[in-house]
Structure formats: structure tokens, C-alpha cells
Amino acid sequence: MTCECEESRRATLSRRRLLAAGAAGMVAGLAGTSVAYAADPAYTGDVLVLLSLRGGFDGLSAVVPAGDPAYYTSRPSIAVPKAQLIGGDSFFGLHPALAPLLPYWTSGKLAAVQAAGQPAPNRSHFSAMEELERAAPGTSVRTGWLNRMLGSLGSTNPFQGVAMGTARPARVLGGPAPYLSLTGVDDLQLTGDQADRPIAATMSKLYAGAPPVLARTAGQLTGALARGAQLRAAGYKPANGAVYPSSELGEALRDVARLIKSGAGLRSATVDSGDWDMHENLGPAVAGRRMYDQLKALATALAAFAADLGADVLRRVTLITISEFGRRVVQNGSGGLDHGYGNVMFVLGGNVRGGRVYGRWPGLATAQLRDGDLAVTTDYRSVIGEILRARCGVADLAGVFPGVTATSLGIVAAR
């Protein structure tokens, strides 16, 4: 490879990062029998679901600027023909593989923001993702922005913030507010805990008379385990005929829907979808080619998630997609795209003002590009900030995104 993608093969946390994130993740992620975890009736905001498209998502393939002639001249073999586009408007169109989401687009529950991204270009996967999840450039803040959001809402329940599909502490949730990192709802149990070896029960007794600071942590642990046992016993069947794909993303979104409907108190969840780093063989917009198949898998999982929630529950859920960077405008010699800058964000929810593409389009002519990339005209934090304020009741936006002003796109209806 001619870029820094070798780093993605070394996807291991440094010891320092693991210890720093692990302390927050495990202490918060495992909670006490004396603690009953349920929805907080005082919280009337949306459940915010963050879907991270890891590897550098190509927003120009997903939401195609068909009205910009430079798009087609820049991508002679991988551009999506106008005749194949769906949804969209007179300028933009959706990739045909996103057809499972078309009903949500046409009904106004799915929108897109084009030319969105970070304040400055960064083509390193790890560095860009770290900045994306820290979301506080130019400051000494080291916590994740989702953790700061939970903190601003006074979260004390580890089920209020969940990283689904991974046992590794989530950087975007790293910080003092409690959260869980789960490979799956049914996996929330203490390894080795059995009837003849009641480790969790023993731990409860051990810390029963401990000082509050210690008893609280042990109580969080055993409380989360007890809640996990209840969820396993209850089982889960998706509603409304929803059929999730047999994929990591499908399973993770199914479990997020399960938690939302369980009354466990979920306020925010983060899910990863990887393998978007397409330096070669991205392929034309036909089934069996790489980008087409992955977009279809993504759309199928998201459509199942929305169907499973149903209209009533979807009214209190907003899902946002982000990625560390977009791809280059011009395709490379391998029929793929190298690391770029500007990108697209999707917003899905019952109170989204969808069926349209938001943001100011900068253009794809050479003079309009940022070092050969799609320029960023909308800070991704300002889009999320608008949603946090309008749908999640976050009053102190500066505490979540220092120095950022929320957009006034009107992408969601205010509560």
C-alpha cells in the first residue's frame, strides 16, 4: 500500500490507552445487585445511536452528486450512472444498493448531509478516528464526546451508554460517566460464574460493608450482571417482520433495538461497521462488486433496525453515521479510492426531516477541491450538536463540543 493503511493491520490498543479506556469501560460497564437499572422517567430525550463506518466511507458513492459533471470525469469506471440512481433530487441521487432504505427516504425519516467532516484533513485512520471521537481539537480534553454527552445528562446507569458489538472499551465513550462495552446482550455475564462457583454473589458479599466508593463500583458490576441475566431469560424476537442480516452489524443493531425496547434506560449506543477502506476494486454499481454489496448490507441492517423499532419507538430514536474521512474524488489506478476528506453523514429517525440532502455543496472542479479532496463545508460536530440540542435535551453544547456552534439545518424536529 502507498498510504498508511498498514496501521489498520495493527489495530491493537497501546498499553497506556487500554488502561485509560479500560478503567472507564470496565468500572462503568459492569455494575450491583442493589442497583435496579431501568429507564429514567425524567429523561424524555431521544436514544442517540452512533454508527461509525470504519475505514473511510466513500460518501460520493453513497449520495452521488450527479449534477456535478466533474464526478463522472473523475471516476470513469466506478461512477454510478444517473439512470441507476434512486431517491435524491435534481442534483443528488442515492446508490441503488441503498434500496432497502428508500422507503425511509421517501417517507422523510432518512436524510443526508454532504460535504461534512472534521475541521482539518487527517488521512491517518487511527489519528483521524481518535480526533473524531475525542471531538475537541485544540484543547486538552481527552474524553470521548459521547461520554461528555452522557455526563451532561447526569447519567449514572451503565446501561445508559453502550458500545455494542465489542468487548473493547470504546474511545468515544471513554470518560467518567459509566457505560458498557458488550459483544452482545446475551454475553453480559461474568466468565466462570456458575451455580457451583457463584463469583458475582461472592463479590456482592465481599463488598457489602465496603466504603461507598468501592461498594458503588462492585454494585455496578453485580447490578449489570443481574440485568443481563433478566434480558437473557426474556429472550428477544424482532418485531414487525424485521429480518436482520446474519452479520456483525445486523446482530449489533438487533441488540441495540433490544435494549431500547427493554426499558433498561439506554440513552446512547455506538456501533461499528468496518471494511470501508477501498483502495482497489471498488467496482461499478452492480451486485457482486465490493461497494455495491457492502452498501446493500449496510442498508439491509439499517432497514431491519428501523422496522424492528416500529414507528412509535423510532420517534424517540435518532441514528447518525460518521466516518473518519471520505475518499479522494479521482479514482486511482487500481479502480479504488485513496484517503480523502469531505464525506456524507446519514441521519435516520422518526423525527428526522428527511428525503433530502443538507449542507452546502462546494463542487468537484479542481479549483474547488481541498488538496484533491471534497472540501468540508459542514463540521460534523455542529450537525450532531443540533441533534443533541433539539432531540436529546443537551443544554450545555460547549461541554460536549468545545468551541462548536450547532447548525441550524433543521434536519430534525425539535421536541
- Print pLDDT tens along the chain (415 aa): 345 465 544 433 332 333 233 333 333 333 333 455 677 778 999 999 999 999 999 999 999 999 999 999 999 999 999 999 999 899 999 999 999 999 999 999 999 999 999 999 999 999 999 999 999 999 999 999 999 999 999 998 899 999 999 988 899 999 999 999 999 999 988 777 888 888 888 888 888 888 887 887 777 778 888 888 899 999 999 999 999 999 999 999 999 999 999 999 999 999 999 999 999 999 999 999 999 999 999 999 999 999 999 999 999 999 999 999 999 999 999 999 999 999 999 999 999 999 999 999 999 999 999 999 999 999 999 999 999 999 999 999 999 999 999 999 999 999 9
> Rounded distance, CA 376 to CA 396, Å?
25
Domain of 211: which CATH number?
Answer: 3.40.720
Within a domain: 9: no
Within a domain: 6: no
Measured from the Cβ of residue 209, the count of other Cβ atoms closer than 10 Å reads 8
At residue 349, φ and ψ (nearest 5 deg) are 175, 165
Count of structural domains within the chain: 1
Please provide the DSSP assignment of 207-265 as one string. TTTS-HHHHHHHHHHHHHHHHHHHHHHH----STT----SSHHHHHHHHHHHHHHHTS-
Within a domain: 394: yes
Instruction: Show the CA angle centred on residue 307, arms to residues 301 and 308, nearest 5°.
Output: 85
Q: Using the 8-state DSSP alphabet, how is residue 189 labeled?
A: S
Nearest to 357 by CA among 46, 47, 62: 62
Within a domain: 21: no
Structural contact between residues 47 and 268, judged by C-beta atoms closer than 8 angstroms: yes
For position 124, what pLDDT does the model report?
Answer: 97
Nearest to 78 by CA among 333, 413, 401, 389: 333
Q: Is 66 exposed, middle or buried (0-12, 13-18, 19+ CB in 10 A)?
A: buried
Within a domain: 308: yes
Structural contact between residues 47 and 316, judged by C-beta atoms closer than 8 angstroms: yes
Whole-model pTM: value is: 0.91
Structural contact between residues 173 and 144, judged by C-beta atoms closer than 8 angstroms: yes
DSSP H or E segment with residue 29? helix 15-29
Within a domain: 15: no
Domain limits at 141? Answer: 26-400
For position 138, what pLDDT does the model report?
Answer: 95
Nearest to 374 by CA among 118, 63, 115: 115
For position 368, what pLDDT does the model report?
Answer: 98
Within a domain: 13: no
For position 157, what pLDDT does the model report?
Answer: 87
At residue 161, φ and ψ (nearest 5 deg) are -135, 120
For position 153, what pLDDT does the model report?
Answer: 95
For position 2, what pLDDT does the model report?
Answer: 44
Within a domain: 363: yes
Structural contact between residues 259 and 160, judged by C-beta atoms closer than 8 angstroms: no
Instruction: Show the CA angle centred on residue 188, arms to residues 187 and 189, nearest 5°.
Output: 100
The full length of the chain comes to 415
